[in-house]
């Protein structure tokens, strides 16, 4: 792992210290791991850009911060002496990743598409289920209301993956969520 990646991980851990709603440093590190795994199968990408987009993708998330123009990400990149043109490229990719902001639109760069897939992979499967209920609980939403999120977003993600590698990973995670929802329906059928 190179120096800037280590610095970015430390920055993210400090930025998200105490976050327990499923958007913390642990989420970011999983997204980074997923992104680097996908990047191995995508030779046209710039792996350094993928790494930094993945690590900084939630540094200015509107659900968590009241920043403008990617202020947290830009501050980190400036402190690391990342050239302005590269910082702009990273921030454009970050802005193209979010489902809540972009819906089913695909980023226009391979790096953005890889990180979008990596972020979406962390929203499905066992981890996605746990994150859904953690976020819902933090925001006062009972578990029954959180189930709606599966139908509004999570079950759609498998078919929105950009890369072959992400589609392959998503299949199994999607099947796990479907099994969970069948079990949920069975256990709550009498209510």
What rounded mean pLDDT belongs to the chain? 94
Domain 3-188, CATH: 1.10.3210.50
Q: How far apart are CA 72 and CA 65, in angstroms?
A: 9
- Among residues 143, 141, 149, 131, the alpha carbon closest in space to that of 19 is found at 131
| Confidence band, pLDDT 50/70/90 cuts, at residue 177 | very high
What 114-117 contacts at long range (C-beta under 8 Å, 24+ apart), as own/partner pairs, is 114/35, 114/38, 114/39, 114/42, 114/45, 114/50, 114/162, 114/163, 114/166, 115/31, 115/35, 115/50, 115/53, 115/54, 115/57, 116/162, 117/34, 117/35, 117/38, 117/161, 117/162, 117/163, 117/165, 117/166
Q: How far apart are CA 57 and CA 153, in angstroms?
A: 19
pTM exceeds 0.85: yes
Mind giving me the DSSP string for 75-87? HHHHHTT--HHHH
Mean pLDDT of 10-33: 92
Higher per-residue pLDDT: 190 or 169:
169
Each residue of 2-21: pLDDT tens digit?
999 999 999 999 999 988 77
Q: What was the pLDDT predicted at 25?
A: 94
Q: Does residue 59 register a pLDDT over 90?
A: yes
Burial of 5 (0-12, 13-18, 19+ CB in 10 A): middle
Each residue of 118-171: pLDDT tens digit?
999 999 999 999 999 999 998 999 999 999 999 999 999 999 999 999 999 999
């Amino acid at each position: 792992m190179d120096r800037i990646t280590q610095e970015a991980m430390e920055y993210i851990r400090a930025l998200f210290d105490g976050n327990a709603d499923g958007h913390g440093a642990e989420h970011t590190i999983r997204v980074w791991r997923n992104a680097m795994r996908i990047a191995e199968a995508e030779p046209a990408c710039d792996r350094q850009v993928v790494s930094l987009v993945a690590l900084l993708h939630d540094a200015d998330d509107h659900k968590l911060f009241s920043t403008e123009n990617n202020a947290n990400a830009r501050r980190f990149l400036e402190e690391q002496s990342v050239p302005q043109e590269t910082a702009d490229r990273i921030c454009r990719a970050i802005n193209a990743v979010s489902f809540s902001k972009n819906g089913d639109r695909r980023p226009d760069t391979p790096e953005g598409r890889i990180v979008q897939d990596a972020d979406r992979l962390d929203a499905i499967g066992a981890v996605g289920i746990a994150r859904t209920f953690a976020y819902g609980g933090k925001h006062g939403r009972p578990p029954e209301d959180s189930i709606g999120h599966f139908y509004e977003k999570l079950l759609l993600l498998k078919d929105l993956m950009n890369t072959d590698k992400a589609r392959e990973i998503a299949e199994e995670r999607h099947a796990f969520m479907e099994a969970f929802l069948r079990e949920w329906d069975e256990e709550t059928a009498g209510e």
